[in-house]
Structure 1
Amino acid sequence: MADPRRTDSVRSDPRRIDVHQHVIPPARSRAIAARAAAVGWPAPAWDEHSAIAMMDRRSIDTAVLSYAAPLAGPDDPDAARATARGVNEYTAELVKNRPDRFAHFAALPLPDVDAALAEAVHALDVLHADGVMILSNAHGRYPGEEAFEPLWAELDARSAVVLVHPTAPPGAPLPQVPPPLADFPYDTTRAALHMTVRGVPRRYPRVKVILPHAGGFLPYAASRFALAARLPRTTSTDTPDTVPEVPTTPVDFVTDLRRFHFDTAISPGPATLPCLLAFAAPDHILYGSDYPMLPEDWSTGFDTALDTYPDWKPGQLHAVNRGNAEQLIPRLAQEP
């Protein structure tokens, strides 16, 4: 007898909001393709028309675009600033022309905090970005560092949405294991853990931080990570006056980990999805495609797994597909 809870042929909500789609401006396409080829990953391609066609095939109403690659080399901050501004202006123009189909998270040229602050203000105030995107590490600098505090304070004052997108961690990748397979979820986990150990979610509760790919390994190992609350709280650069406000018990630590939002990109598997649902707050789970970094023919199975998961509670799939994203970005809410 068929399970009556399954929705193999009919989704509970056919129009998703995709919080994790990547824009590739024409000026950056060659660099992105070369970066992918260097690690053995398929070279992605993106343009407005093919993206909308893909979205129509996959019942995606609106995509939030972000640029998920280092902006420049570690020794060229001027190029990073220029690339961030160019990417953000290009994406803002796409959104201006098709606000019904696109939104965007602006790229910030970290680890230059002053430049990142200036770009965040420009993107949010002038380009009307829907949030910002930072990488899980900026040339080896992680987002919980004390130097990044002014940026978090500004984003908190604006109740901003921040996508923390993974990139390769310091060190060489394993042979035949491209970074997107293992290093990316590892670095997402590392960034989130670093932020929590340093008290960022606790001090800046108005910032809504999205962790892609179901948060990497964070939901699975949250209880293990919570042991960090039992360890000494200072670093070699802390003084008694600069020790940050941090979670002091394992329960508090897990509470702070659950402040994060999580997207479903490359994650609705039979082990991963139940783990995410068991850990994350119900209103903190969002649909993500990771297109075009994940080729469409690789990813439709994840959509099917999400839609046909047998243990959704009433209204939960709708919340994941679009309702939770509407809460984060209210302008994307459908007209009543």
Structure 2
Amino acid sequence: MVKIDVFAHVLPPKFLTKMQQIEPHILAHFPYMKNPLLTDLTQHIASIPNDHQQILSMVNLNPEDFVAADQAAELCWAANDELASLVRENQTIFPAGVAMLPLNNVPAALKLIDEQVVGSTELVGVQLFTQALGQPITAPEYEPIFEKLARLQLPIWLHPVFDAHKTDNNLTFSWEYELTQAMNGLVAAHYFRKYPNLKVIVHHAGAMVPYFSQRIKYIQSAENYADFKKFYVDTAILGNSQALALALTFFGEDHLLFGTDAPFGIPPVGPTAVIEQAINEMAITETQKQKIFSGNWLQLMGQ
């Protein structure tokens, strides 16, 4: 059975070079991006187990954090072209990629969706982050992106970033909190009711939501509780069968997708083996495992 990892990362070399021309010491700000598997395609492919495929998304090196609107749009466009080429040349291993958007240029982001994602077999959705330019992703100026993607029935990959206003950010807990807050913001803004075809794939198994689902049920409205269940989530929590079982119970067997965050998490090649083992150790049927490993992704893509 082919296993499709829906949340694996790359940092294409041409895009990295362009960003280093803007900020020569950019990797010093993000030392985890020095992982050679992000930029060296040969090493990256060699790290992927047999019978596995990856849906590729960019690491969170976002042009809008460094340059003005027009240049950010140009950089995103070129990065998406580079990623699409990488997918096209290796489509048996990388069935698809995920586009990046310039969040300081929403009109260009909407145009990019039309011209680089709609109808593409290489770029099948977009990646958004829990915050952009110091604002939550639910800020009103970003809403047209959600409206458009829902109308087109194109999925969003939701990835965490730190809240720069906080002084105690850490990789163990902060990103999960930011994901949870972003999910809560999307529900509170009634996006799933305003845009019924909205599809959001949340990293890290839905963060805190499965664990605190009863708090959601009894503190928030029944409508909100139902909306939280509309998220899709991946399995990228570095193992832990019991935690994954909570995610499956809350979001449902059709909304849990195999995703690893490779090549991050467990050196040197990422946590794929550990996460796969955790899924295989879950007390679920083989049919449910098949859904997680590939079936739910194929269903989401209409295949």
TM over 0.5: yes
Instruction: Name the counterpart of 2:201.
Output: 210
Distance 2:167 2:216 in 1: 24
How far 1:36 moved relative to its partner?
6.5
RCO comparison, higher one (Cα < 8 Å, 6+):
1
Distance 2:140 2:68 in 1: 22
Worse overlay, 42-51 or 271-280: 42-51
Instruction: Name the counterpart of 2:295.
Output: 323
Among 278, 285, 288, the alignment partner of 2:256 is: 285
Q: TM-score, normalised by structure 1?
A: 0.79
Distance 1:142 1:314 in 2: 39
Instruction: Name the counterpart of 1:305.
Output: 278
SS of 2:141's equivalent in the other structure is helix
Instruction: Name the counterpart of 1:84.
Output: 76
Distance 2:278 2:167 in 1: 29
Note the 1:17-32 alignment, pairs <5 A. Answer: 17-29=4-16
Is this contact kept in 2: 1:20–1:290, CA < 8 A? yes
The one-letter amino acid of 2:165's match is G
Instruction: Name the counterpart of 1:192.
Output: 183
Distance 2:26 2:35 in 1: 10
Q: Which runs of 5+ in 2 are unaligned?
A: none
Q: TM-score, normalised by structure 2?
A: 0.86
Relative to structure 1, is the Cα distance of residues 286 and 27 closer, same or farther in structure 2, using a 3 angstrom cutoff? same
The one-letter amino acid of 1:193's match is N
Is this contact kept in 2: 1:84–1:107, CA < 8 A? yes
Relative to structure 1, is the Cα distance of residues 281 and 296 closer, same or farther in structure 2, using a 3 angstrom cutoff? farther
Is this contact kept in 1: 2:238–2:274, CA < 8 A? no
Note the 1:60-139 alignment, pairs <5 A. Answer: 60=52, 62-72=53-63, 73=65, 76-102=68-94, 103-125=96-118, 127-128=120-121, 129-139=123-133
Aligned pairs, number: 292
Is this contact kept in 2: 1:81–1:109, CA < 8 A? yes
Is this contact kept in 2: 1:263–1:286, CA < 8 A? yes
How far 1:180 moved relative to its partner?
2.8
Among 20, 41, 47, the alignment partner of 1:54 is: 47
* Matched-pair identity in %: 26
Larger radius of gyration: 1
The one-letter amino acid of 1:208's match is K
Is this contact kept in 1: 2:241–2:281, CA < 8 A? no
Note the 1:174-253 alignment, pairs <5 A. Answer: 174=168, 179-226=170-217, 229=220, 250-253=221-224
Distance 1:91 1:320 in 2: 25
Q: Which runs of 5+ in 1 are unaligned?
A: 1-12, 230-249
How far 1:223 moved relative to its partner?
3.0
Distance 2:86 2:66 in 1: 29
Is this contact kept in 2: 1:110–1:116, CA < 8 A? yes
Is this contact kept in 1: 2:180–2:209, CA < 8 A? yes
Distance 1:121 1:161 in 2: 14
